[in-house]
Amino acid sequence: MELIVLDKSGKETGRKVSLDDAIFGIEPNEHVVYLEVKQYLAAQRQGTHKSKERSEISGSTRKLHRQKGTGGSRKGDIKNPLFKGGARVFGPKPRDYRFKLNKSLKRLAKKSVFSQKLKENNLKVVEDFKFEAPKTKDFIQVVNNLGLANKKTLFILGEPNKFVYLSSRNLQDAKVLEYSEISSYDVLKANEVVLFEGSIEKIQENLRK
């Protein structure tokens, strides 16, 4: 599969890049993508939730009334979960939600989302460019030139590009990442994916392993 390379003005450069069908042309595996997205979102959770158990509640441990003979139910002490201000039964405890996925599965997930974007014609290639200083206005101009205004767009760099990254940081609909930072979640969340020309071979090299 070949894609036309655009410049930052949105015009065709006359060059084409070849995309590996084993990476950008496979049948997407939805379940594998689901697993990687689930792992990504689980890793974002702080897991600091905590409720107090009976031993942690401040209060007397004196039994409120005798066990039998009152006509009332058995209650124990004031920390009983039955009472307002009492403990919570089986409440949440701090935990780590992260879980492991095999590298081969994660590579398949990325291949699946890239293939899906290409299949939907939501993948573009732009020649590498740099800014002389961080300017949001310049980045907005590039987005408009590419016809991506008001579209959630992911730009993937082949190497660190500080000024391009800083120029995009204030835009709600644009996200700039290096090829090594991307996850299936980032690609799926974007309406459009723009690959810097220098990122293609590095992405393919990573996903061929």
* DSSP-assigned letters across all residues of 127-169: -----SS--HHHHHHHHHHTT-TTS-EEEEESS--HHHHHHHT
Q: Taking Cα atoms as reference points, which of 46, 69, 59, 28 lies closest to residue 184? A: 28
Residue 180, strand partner residues: none
Q: Is the pLDDT of residue 206 over 80?
A: yes
pTM of the model: 0.84
Strand pairing partners for 154?
A: 175, 193
Burial state string for 156-190 with b = 16 or more CB within 10 A and e = fewer than 16: bbbeebeebbbbbeeeeebbbbbbeebbbbbbbeb
From the list 106, 107, 133, 118, the residue with the least C-alpha distance to 3 is 118
pLDDT in tens, 70-113: 999 999 999 999 999 999 999 999 999 999 999 999 999 999 99
**pLDDT digits over 107-118, tens only?**
999 999 999 999
Q: How confident is the model at residue 208 (pLDDT cuts 50, 70, 90)?
A: confident
Question: What pLDDT sits at residue 20?
Answer: 92
Q: Which of 103, 147, 111, 117 is nearest to 8 (CA)?
A: 147
Please name each of the domains of the chain with its CATH number.
2-41+100-208 (3.40.1370.10), 51-91 (no CATH)
Number of other residues whose CB lies within 10 A of the CB of residue 30: 11
**Whether 124 contacts 3, CB under 8 Å:** yes
For range 36-40, the mean pLDDT: 97
Q: Can you give the pLDDT at residue 209?
A: 72
Strand arrangement of the beta sheet that strand 192-196 belongs to: 12-18, 2-6, 123-126, 192-196, 153-157, 174-178
Structure confidence at residue 22 (pLDDT): 93
